[in-house]
Amino acid sequence: MGSDGCQCEALEANQEARRLQWKELCTQFYYDQDEKAKRILDYFEATKVDEIIISTPDKDQNDAQFSQLVQFLGLQKCMLPGHQDIFYQKNVQMLDLVKNQVRAGYHTQVANLKYAEFDERANI
């Protein structure tokens, strides 16, 4: 974080690492219904609609790890004037694209399994 509180440069510096971490979290949520990943995705969805986010400690989850992931993924908006557009364009859109790709892959897999089960029953 810069001396002025700006996180934008840090978002630029580790974009690929953030993309890979985000893809892993999305995969954990969609394929494994992981609660930790769901908590991060819920936080992400709230940031997209500019909601006020209130996070309460959860005894089943490691809050320090959650906070680190939120910061690493760049889910805390830069508060400097004019930087919110940068936040949205550079970060939220990239994360949303990755999430949608993982979700599409999940739905394709589920559909293929259902079609295979149907074909198996139809050919008995």
pTM, full prediction: 0.78
Write out pLDDT tens, residues 66-80.
988 988 898 877 777
In one letter, which amino acid is 83?
H
> Do the Cβ atoms of 101 and 47 come closer than 8 Å?
no
In one letter, which amino acid is 8?
C
- Whole-number pLDDT of residue 50: 64
Instruction: Give the span between the Cα atoms of 73 and 96, in whole angstroms.
Output: 12
Which three-class secondary structure state does DSSP give residue 7?
Answer: coil
